[in-house]
Amino acid sequence: MIVWLNGELMDERAARIDPRDRGFLLGDALFETLLARNGNIAFLEEHLVRLWAGANILGIPLPVSTGHLAVACEMVLEANGLIDAPRVALRVTLTRGPGPRGLVPPENPAPTLLISAAESASPPASQSAIIATPRRNALSPTSRLKAAPYLDNLLAREEARARGADEALMLDTSGYVACASVANVFLWEGERLVTPAEECGILPGITRAAVLELAGRLGIDAAEEMIMPQRLPRADGVFLTNSLIGIVPLSRIETHEFEPHRMTARLKAAYELLLEADEDEEGRS
């Protein structure tokens, strides 16, 4: 694989990260995962703006412009022969770079910026989920950032795997539904769409925002609320969203099974049209 590291394309076997890098030692880092289809990177601007905003919050200087990053992403696709691939996962990782021992950041950070790419499988038709033991800390400012420390999410996903499920739904420390290990959560209550509020310590996902916007266009009543887990089995349908899977319904949470909700299919179709329209626009530019 060819990666882009600090401004240079190179074979991944030749890539070297400083052993003092705080991303490696402390998880002092941000990342973005993007979907590319046939060379078009979905919601590229939104992802890079979120990376830039998170870097500002953490005080990590972005060493290149977002425009330069966009070009670098395309360079990685081309260098790996993935321009025509139907589905590619791009990952942009930004760390604070090397620093002295301890927690105090260096006064003049030299950030590490890495872009990699790999072909991505088609999303599943549906998934099953459990309610996981690890909780989201809604009081932590990093809960709303695409930040590198992902151990709680990793433990939640491992718990799901051990219990024979695909995904893990995570509650916040107050007991409200927050998110899945790598996705946002939506519930159908009748034909009303509900998703956990940002106050529950969720990452405000790019696809989540697109779904809420699409719901408004389609005349669907949508709301962000504090959702207790007792509402989950009473829901008429549940689905997950993230940049790679798009919209995927849950067929089961714990032992409760869900029938497909007709409005999920309608939203999925609208989301697909949104991606195709973006691809057509890119093709004409």
160: how many CB neighbours lie within 10 A of its CB?
Answer: 22
Task: Report yes or no on 253 lying in a domain.
Answer: yes
Beta strands in 146-243 (DSSP E): 167-171, 177-180, 184-189, 192-196, 222-225, 237-242
Q: What tens digit of pLDDT does each residue of 215-251 get? A: 999 999 999 999 999 999 999 999 999 999 999 999 9
**pLDDT range class, residue 284, cuts 50, 70, 90:** low
Task: Report yes or no on 283 lying in a domain.
Answer: no
Crossing angle (nearest 10°) for helices 44-58 and 206-217: 130
Clarify whether residues 113 and 160 are in a common domain: no
How many angstroms separate the CA atoms of 120 and 85, rounded? Answer: 9
**pLDDT range class, residue 18, cuts 50, 70, 90:** very high
Which one of 84, 99, 119 terminates a domain?
A: 119
CATH classification at residue 49: 3.30.470.10
CATH classification at residue 197: 3.20.10.10
Cα of first residue to Cα of last residue in the chain, in angstroms, is 29
How many angstroms separate the CA atoms of 246 and 26, rounded? Answer: 31
Domain count for the chain, please give it.
Answer: 2
Clarify whether residues 146 and 259 are in a common domain: yes
Assess whether pLDDT exceeds 60 at residue 285.
no
**pLDDT range class, residue 153, cuts 50, 70, 90:** very high
Which whole-number Å values give the CA distances from 69 to 29, 37, 113, 227, 269, in the listed order? 16, 18, 10, 37, 30
pLDDT at 39: 96
Task: Report yes or no on 280 lying in a domain.
Answer: no
What average pLDDT score do residues 31-46 get?
A: 97
Which one of 52, 87, 119 terminates a domain?
A: 119
Assess whether pLDDT exceeds 60 at residue 166.
yes
User: Mean of the per-residue pLDDT values for the chain?
Assistant: 96
Assess whether pLDDT exceeds 90 at residue 9.
yes
Q: If we measure between CA atoms, which residue out of 241, 238, 242, 236 comes closest to residue 253?
A: 238
Say which residues have a Cβ less than 8 Å from residue 213's Cβ, sequence separation at least 6.
none
What average pLDDT score do residues 108-112 get?
A: 97
Range of the domain at 81: 2-119
Q: What tens digit of pLDDT does each residue of 43-70 get? A: 999 999 999 999 999 999 999 999 999 9
Clarify whether residues 96 and 176 are in a common domain: no
